[in-house]
C-alpha cells in the first residue's frame, strides 16, 4: 500500500485542487504554464467538442476506477497465500456474455454523440462567407472569394525577425482576418502534399489534400487571436507553417476588406437563424 505522510498528502491534494481551480481562469488560445485541458472554446463546434470530452472523461474515469478496484480485489482476495488450492474454474457463460455485451453497449452509446458531432462539424447549410485555404510546402495561402477575391500568402516570422510580443514559431507575416458571429465556410486544398489546417480553439482540424476540396465551417464567438499549426506531416518545413486567425467585429472586418482592395460581399449575406446551427437533437445525446 502507498503511504503518504499526512503533510505531503495534504500538499498534493491542495496542489491538484489548485490546478483544477486555476486552469479554467487562465484558459486562453495560448497554452499557459500548468494549464489543464483544452484552449478556451471560441466556436460552437469547439464547445460541443469540450462537452463531449467532458462526458467521455466521466466514462473513462468510472471504467478505470472499476477495473482498478476489481484488480486490487482479485489480487488480495485470491492471492496464493489465502488460496493454497486454486479454483479450476475456466468458463462462466453468463459472466462472459456480460463482459462482452456491456463494453459493446458503452461503445455504441459513445458512438452516437461522436458521429453526430462529426457531422455537425462537417458542413454548414447557409454560410455567410467562404474562406479558401491552400496548403503549400511550407506556408499557407488564403483567398476570400466573397470579398473581392482578396488573396495572400502567410509565412512564418523567422526567429531573427520576431518583434516584441510576437510568438516564436506561431506568428506569421499576414494573418487570417475573420469576422465574429459569422458562419464561415472553410474550403481546404493543397498544391503539393497533404497538409492540415488546424486551429484548436475553433475546433477545426481538416486535411488539405492536393486535387481535392475539403470543407468545414466555423463561427467565432469572441474577438481575439487564435493560433494553429499544420497538423499533417508535410516535409521538412512542417513545423514552420503556423496559422494565425484574428477575429474582429463585422465593421472592423469590412474596414479590413476595404483596406485590402476587396469588395463587400456582392449579395447581402444570408444570416442563418440561430436554430439552424444548433446541433440537431443535441439534448437527446446526453
Residue 188 found at the interface with Cu ion (CB under 5 A): no
What's the CA angle centered on 278, arms 28 and 179, to 5 degrees? 50
Piece of 25-33, 121-129, 225-233, 278-286 that binds Cu ion (CB under 5 A):
225-233
As measured in angstroms, the least distance from the Cβ of 148 to Cu ion is 27
Taking the complex as a whole, how short is the minimal distance between the CB of residue 190 and Cu ion, in angstroms?
A: 8
Lay out the site mask for Cu ion across 50-79 (x = CB under 5 A, - = otherwise): ------------------------------
| Comparison of 220 and 230: residue with beta carbon closer to Cu ion | 230
Return the number of the residue (40 or 175) whose C-beta is nearest Cu ion: 175
Number of residues that bind Cu ion (CB under 5 A): 3
Residue choice 178, 234, 243, 285 for contact with Cu ion (CB under 5 A) = 234
**Residue tagged 503533510 (cell numbers):** 7
Does 187 participate in binding Cu ion (rule CB under 5 A)?
Answer: no
Nearer to Cu ion (CB atom), residue 188 or residue 257 = 188
Tell me: does residue 195 bind Cu ion (CB under 5 A): yes
Asked if 230 interacts with Cu ion (CB under 5 A), we say: yes
The answer to whether residues 224 and 247 touch, using CB atoms and an 8 Å cutoff, is yes
Find the angle CA(263)-CA(42)-CA(222) to the nearest 5 degrees. 55
Q: Which three cell numbers stand for residue 217?
A: 465551417
Looking at beta carbons only, is 190 or 285 nearer to Cu ion? 190
Q: Which is nearer to Cu ion, 130 or 231 (CB)?
A: 231
Q: How many Å is the Cα radius of gyration of the chain? A: 25
Q: How far is the CB of 255 from Cu ion (least distance, A)?
A: 31
- The site for Cu ion (CB under 5 A) is made up of 195, 230, 234
Amino acid at each position: 500500500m502507498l503511504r503518504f505522510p499526512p503533510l505531503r498528502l495534504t500538499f498534493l491534494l491542495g496542489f491538484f485542487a489548485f490546478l483544477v481551480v486555476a486552469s479554467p481562469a487562465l484558459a486562453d488560445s495560448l497554452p499557459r504554464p500548468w494549464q489543464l485541458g483544452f484552449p478556451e472554446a471560441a466556436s460552437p463546434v469547439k464547445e460541443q467538442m469540450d462537452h463531449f470530452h467532458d462526458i467521455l472523461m466521466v466514462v473513462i474515469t468510472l471504467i478505470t476506477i472499476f477495473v482498478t478496484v476489481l484488480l486490487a480485489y482479485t489480487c488480495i482476495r485470491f492471492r496464493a497465500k489465502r488460496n493454497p488450492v486454486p479454483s479450476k474454474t475456466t468458463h462462466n457463460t453468463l459472466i462472459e456474455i456480460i463482459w462482452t455485451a456491456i463494453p459493446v453497449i458503452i461503445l455504441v452509446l459513445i458512438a452516437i454523440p461522436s458521429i453526430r458531432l462529426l457531422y455537425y462539424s462537417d458542413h454548414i447549410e447557409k454560410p455567410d462567407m467562404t474562406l479558401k485555404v491552400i496548403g503549400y510546402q511550407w506556408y499557407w495561402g488564403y483567398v476570400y472569394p466573397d470579398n473581392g477575391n482578396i488573396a495572400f500568402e502567410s509565412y512564418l516570422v523567422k526567429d531573427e525577425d520576431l518583434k516584441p510580443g510576437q510568438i516564436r514559431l506561431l506568428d506569421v507575416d499576414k494573418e487570417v482576418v475573420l469576422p465574429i458571429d459569422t458562419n464561415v465556410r472553410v474550403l481546404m486544398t493543397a498544391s503539393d502534399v497533404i497538409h492540415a489546417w488546424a486551429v484548436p480553439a475553433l475546433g477545426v482540424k481538416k486535411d488539405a489534400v492536393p486535387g481535392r476540396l475539403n470543407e468545414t465551417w466555423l463561427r467565432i464567438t469572441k474577438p481575439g487571436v487564435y493560433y494553429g499549426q499544420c497538423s499533417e506531416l508535410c516535409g521538412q518545413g512542417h513545423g514552420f507553417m503556423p496559422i494565425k486567425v484574428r477575429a474582429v467585429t463585422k465593421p472592423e472586418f469590412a474596414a479590413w476588406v476595404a483596406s485590402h482592395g476587396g469588395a463587400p460581399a456582392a449579395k447581402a449575406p444570408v444570416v442563418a437563424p440561430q436554430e439552424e446551427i444548433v446541433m440537431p437533437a443535441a439534448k437527446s445525446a446526453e
